[in-house]
């Protein structure tokens, strides 16, 4: 399978980036008093059509995945979010978890899991299949993605490899922006 993404030597992908914003983009109302972050794992509630931050209780029960392409402060209520839904490709934040897995290989699935930070994804595990359906399929990471150390001296390095043939291995709790293809209702 060949997958084309916008790349460049110093592109530095951010959560919420997408290869083509004209393909699969839509707007939906946000549930009352909920603020969304760009690139956060969300769902469209099938009951009322509102956007909610994804949890394992909400994913895969007829609620399509949704990833906002812009942050929205909905404190005053009544706003909408623009974003991408299945089966489009988009960048989201992967959070490594010792229990679920620290390494993702292209083709692996990711899930929303309540043990990680809200709106982030972790590696899907077959043991969690009953309550954590697949949210998206991991495609790879951006070539030459800029990584910045979280402690002094805050050194910066570039990742190697070219999408989509790049796996990612992180320490427990560490995060990385990854390219995924959203899965329709967690049923694949």
Q: Which mean pLDDT values do the consecutive 10-residue runs of the chain (188 residues) have? A: 45 71 72 91 90 84 87 89 87 89 91 82 78 85 62 64 67 88 71
User: For residue 13, what are its two tokens?
Assistant: 């992908």
For residue 1, the model assigns a pLDDT of: 43
Cα–Cα dist 99/5, whole Å = 31
Cα–Cα dist 127/147, whole Å = 32
**Residue corresponding to tokens 């029960």:** 61
What pTM was computed for the model?
0.77
b or e along 154-173 (b: 16 or more beta carbons within 10 Å of the residue's beta carbon)? eeeeeeeeebbebebebeee
For residue 100, the model assigns a pLDDT of: 86
For residue 137, the model assigns a pLDDT of: 93
Start-to-end CA distance of the chain, whole Å, equals 17
**Residue corresponding to tokens 């292209």:** 106
């Amino acid at each position: 399978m060949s997958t084309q993404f916008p790349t460049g030597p110093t592109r530095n992908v951010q959560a919420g980036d997408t290869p083509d914003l004209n393909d699969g983009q839509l707007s939906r109302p946000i549930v009352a008093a909920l603020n969304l972050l760009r690139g956060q794992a969300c769902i469209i509630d099938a009951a009322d059509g509102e956007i909610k931050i994804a949890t394992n209780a909400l994913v895969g029960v007829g609620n399509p995945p949704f990833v906002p392409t812009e942050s929205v402060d909905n404190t005053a209520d009544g706003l909408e979010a623009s974003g991408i839904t299945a089966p489009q490709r988009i960048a989201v934040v992967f959070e490594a978890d010792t229990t679920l897995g620290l390494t993702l290989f292209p083709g692996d699935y990711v899930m929303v899991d309540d043990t990680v930070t809200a709106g982030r994804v972790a590696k899907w595990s077959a043991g969690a299949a009953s309550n954590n359906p697949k949210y998206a399929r991991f495609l790879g990471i951006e070539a030459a993605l800029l990584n910045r150390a979280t402690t002094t001296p805050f050194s910066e390095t570039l990742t190697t490899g070219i999408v989509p043939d790049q796996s990612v291995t992180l320490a427990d709790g560490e995060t990385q922006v990854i390219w995924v293809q959203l899965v329709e209702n967690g049923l694949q």
